[in-house]
Amino acid sequence: MTDRYCVFGHPVAHSKSPAIHAAFAEQTGEAIAYTAIEAPLDDFAGAWHRFTAEGGRGANVTVPFKEEAYRLCDTLSARARRAGAVNTLILGGNGETYGDTTDGVGLVRDLASHGVALRGARILVLGAGGAVRGVLEPLLAETPASLFVGNRTAEKAAALAEDFRDLGEVRGGGFEAVAGPYDVVINGTSASLAGDLPPLPDELFAPGATAYDMMYGAEPTVFLQWAAERGARPLDGLGMLVEQAAESFFQWRAKRPDTAPVRDMLRRSLSAS
Ligand code: ATR
């Protein structure tokens, strides 16, 4: 019987995960079926348990269920515990649920694949919500010189940075406390969704700096347009999406897909849309 996987979200129809995992399965010769399931907002746990009762072996979890997924797990990876969120569920042999988060490692791998050095870098991360919490541990593991979390609500950034103080040189504050230059600036706010730009100083970027938006679209986000105008190299989050999927696939199937052709395929279909 074909092993079943899915992505849970609400809404989920737009998700690219089924196409990504179908490409990974074809590439690696793994016989899996991967679908998108819209879980009810008030019963995520029920949706997961129904899925496993019907033969589901694992799942990805997207907005708005990552924290709920975290709460239902019997066992968590260390990085998921730090993140307070789970994007990858695995059904264990005796029916228990194991949770992991692959978003942060996805970001770090995508940056690496574009030749962006994090060791010794001065990093600015914008935003202090769940998306940012999920990437701080893997970023700090790369031993940057410093990491500043800048957020509209200063106290949230300070509190978030405090939670990761044991892992490296990390501080947090409001946008007014952002003082460049930075080598790598990562936008993890949801401001791009609304077409907004966080208020940032013009002299934000060091020479050769990279600007990364965890969002992506057919067109560059306002943040990336703004950054490119100031000389930074713009990268969007499409590669992170593919890399986090590849790490989930690895957790389930113990095979590492080649991500570059899948990223290129998605890029082509985005530009065509
Ligand atoms: P996610 O799970 O995507 O991280 P979230 O936890 O709701 O979502 O966090 C959204 C982040 O985007 C927050 O850091 C938020 O700033 P506040 O903490 O001040 O609310 C930030 N954000 C959302 N809209 C924004 C905007 N228009 N300008 C700047 N920051 C914004």
252, pLDDT greater than 80: yes
Residue nearest atom 2 in ligand 1 by C-alpha distance: 130
Q: Is the pLDDT of residue 258 over 80?
A: yes
Q: What pLDDT, in 10s, does the model give residues 18-43?
A: 999 999 999 999 999 999 999 999 99
From the CA of 197, give the closest atom in ligand 1. Answer: 28
pTM, entire model = 0.96
User: How far does the centroid of ligand 1 lie from the alpha carbon of residue 147, in Å?
Assistant: 18
Q: State yes or no: pLDDT of 119 exceeds 90.
A: yes
Q: CB within 6 Å of ligand 1 — which residues?
A: 127-132, 151-153, 156, 189-191, 194, 196, 198
Q: Which residue has the tokens 């030749």?
A: 115
Residue of 61, 155, 190 best suited for mutating to test ligand 1, as the one with most atoms within 8 Å of CB: 190
Residue 256: the pLDDT is 98
Region 81-93: mean pLDDT is 97
Q: Set out the domains of the chain in order of their start, with CATH numbers.
A: 3-101+239-272 (3.40.50.10860), 104-236 (3.40.50.720)
Query: Nearest residue CA, atom 31 of ligand 1?
Result: 191
| Residues ≥6 apart with Cβ < 8 Å to 245 | 17, 20, 21, 24, 60, 102, 106
- Is residue 66 part of the annotated active site? The answer reads yes
Peptide bond into 261 cis (omega under 30): no
Average pLDDT score, the chain: 97
